[in-house]
Each structure stands twice: as C-alpha cells, then as structure tokens.
Amino acid sequence: MGKLVVLTLLGAVLALIGERLVAFRQRTNASRAVEPVDLPNCHLIEGLENGSEDIDILPNGLAFISSGLKYPGMPNFAPDEPGQIFLMDLNEQNPRVQALNISDGFDKASFNPHGISTFIDKDHTVYLYVVNHPHMKSTVEEFKFEEQQRSLVHLKTIKHELLTSVNDIVVLGPEQFYATRDHYFTNFFLVLLEMIMDLRWTDVLFYSPREVKVVAKGFSSANGITVSLDKKYIYVADVLAQNVHVLNKHRNWDLTQVKVIQLGTLVDNLTVDPNTGDILAGCHPNAMKLLIYNSEDPPGSEVLRIQDVLSEKPKISTTYANNGSVLQGSSVASVYHGKLLIGTVFHKALYCLF
C-alpha cells in the first residue's frame, strides 16, 4: 500500500512537471519562426560587439548604451571583459559610439551593467543610474555625466535587501526610482524551476532614501520599465507572460493596474517615443533560442510599436523583425528625430533612419 501511494505521488509530480515543461515551451514561443520586416536604411554600429542591452536617449540626442551584460543562462561572447557604458551623439551625420571613462574608485573590473535610466536635475545636471550585477549580485550605481569630458563620475552605490535580481529601473527624481525584479530566487536552478512552474512571484519596487516598498506584484518575470510622457503611468514588460502592464502612478508612489496589453512575443525593454508617446518594445520572438544558443540557428530580433496605449484597442505594429541573420536577441529600441537604435542582450546593435 505504501509503495502504491509513493508511486501515485511520483506519477502526479512527473505529470505536473511534464505539463509545466510543455507550457514553458509555449510561453517561450519555442516553435515560432520570424517573418522578416526590414527597414531600408540600417547598418550595424561599429564598436558594439558584446551587447547593447539597454539604451536611454537624452532630449538633446545623446544616447547612453549599456554593454557587456553577463546574465545567467544567456550567451556572452566576451565573458572575461568588464561591462561598459557607451555614448552616441545622434545629432552627428554619421554617429559613432564612444566608451565613457568612469572615475577612479569605482570597481570597473566587476562592472556588469543591465538596465539604465537618466535623470536631469533642475540645474540641467545629467545623472545616469545603472543596474549593476557585480559578482552576480544586484546594486544600482549612480553616476554624474560630465559632457565636456565624456566621462561618468561615480557618486553612490545603492544597495537594499529588496534590491535583488533587479532587471531595469526608471528614475523619476533624485534617488527615486521604480525597479523591476525578474526573479524571486537568486539560485540559478531555483530560477529555472521558478520559470518552468510559472510561479508569478516577481514584482516592481519603489526606492527612495526614506522608503523602499513593493508597489506591484504577480508578474511571471517583470522586465523592462518606463514612464509615460505625462509621468502619470508606468509601463512594465512581463517577458514570460508576453505582455505590457499599464499602471497608474499615485502621489505616494503606489501603482494600480489600468490594463494589460498582450503582444504574443517575449517583450524585454520598453521606451517611449518622445514625439508621439507610443511604446517601443524590444522583443524576443523565440526565447528558447536564447536559452539554448546555436550559432547556426540563432535567436531573432523583433521591435513592436504600441500606439494609443490607453485606448480600448491599442494598435500594435511590427517596426523591425529579423531571424538572427543580422541581429540576434533584441532587447531594446529607442527613437530620436527619425533615427532608431536597436540594442541586444549579447550581440550587436543596429542604427536605422526612417
């Protein structure tokens, strides 16, 4: 009788795991092939060879680009090289990237930049906040941008017990930001279990020097985050749920859900078109190819535009799509005056005129 009970329980567990594995393949679009959508005036950006995971463009056309992310389970072509922040002036006729020098006293050897966000103070000083994973932990680094010297002065390392598995941030004031946590666990094998079982234990935090709190939860894997042009709404990408959450921002920094926009692709980082307010989403059309990398059949890239975000039926269109022959693993897209930058987790970056 005891053996029968054990076998019955074992069978039930195996059946559950099998069902979850099938569901996980579906959630990662493991069988999806990419239908190409090309833009006519594009070229790869020289000097960005090891990723361009996140991009933030200032109102004056200076673009910050994070590069060199080392993320568990993701490909990396330069595992021994530290990460960098690059700058690109989109006002130039033929813009090029330049690695920004970082001030002494900051541990550059373990720099592992992920999501980034800028904040411009009342005196027009530009601050760059960077999600960093030194030794696979999570911190947020605050830098002051010195435009004339093309350098970053490190001001502060922000740590907190809730700032674990941080993916992206959006800064709304001096040391005031929302941050997404893409996993509940930090152990790699528990993270895999978390994704396969679809536990939906990830969340969005609000951080300030006086208060740190969870303001939204229940995400499969909270990823990219940004703010609407009028600062009233926060947009959060749930990569494994293949959707974007629109959240109302309250005066006490709490968030309440307004709507969820389903995309049918695994959405990574989000940016907002400064002219239209549309959301641009860097996406992974088949994330299984990211997790199981094959250079002969690489992960593709996809950029979606979401128009009329607050309407009953937002318009979703594909701006760019590629099967990996040009660009692998797109993670972000950002626009400035008819110019489009598309970044990737670990591969190259694309510059387009449209």
Give dist(CA 194, CA 14) in Å, integer.
16
Question: How does DSSP classify residue 304?
Answer: E
Consult the annotation and say whether 112 binds a ligand: no
Report the DSSP pairing between strands 279-284 and 301-307.
antiparallel
Distance of CA 271 to the CA centre of its chain: 10
Angle at 20 (CA atoms; ends 283, 14), nearest 5 degrees: 155
Tokens 């709404």 label which residue? 233
Local structure of 169: helix, strand or coil: strand
Closest by Cα among 204, 203, 150, 220 to 172: 204
Q: Kindly give the pairing relationship between strand 202-207 and strand 139-146.
A: unpaired
The reply to whether 107 sits in an annotated binding site is no
CA-wise closest residue to 65 among 98, 110, 101, 111: 98
- Residue 89 assigned as binding residue: no
Residue 114 annotated as catalytic: yes
The answer to whether 168 is a known ligand-binding residue is: yes
- 146: its two tokens: 């010195």
For the four alpha carbons of 62, 350, 129 and 171, in that order, the dihedral sign comes to positive
Smallest CA-to-CA distance from 64 within 139, 129, 19 is with 129
Residue 316 φ then ψ, to 5° = -115, 125
Residue 64 main-chain phi, psi, to 5 deg: -95, 140
The response to whether 268 counts as a known ligand-binding position is yes
At 265, is the secondary structure helix, strand, or coil? Answer: coil
Q: Is 261 annotated as a binding residue?
A: no
308 labelled ligand-binding = no
CB-neighbour burial class of residue 89 (10 A; exposed 0-12, middle 13-18, buried 19+)? middle
| CA–CA gap between residue 87 and residue 292 (Å, rounded) | 31
Q: Please choose, from the candidates 288, 308, 237, 333, the residue with its C-alpha nearest in 3D space to the C-alpha of residue 39.
A: 333
Residue 38 marked ligand-binding = no
Given 114, 133, 284, 347, the catalytic residue: 114
Catalogue the active-site residues. 114
What are the binding residues?
A: 53-54, 116, 167-168, 223, 268-269
What are the binding residues for Ca(2+)?
A: 53-54, 116, 167-168, 223, 268-269
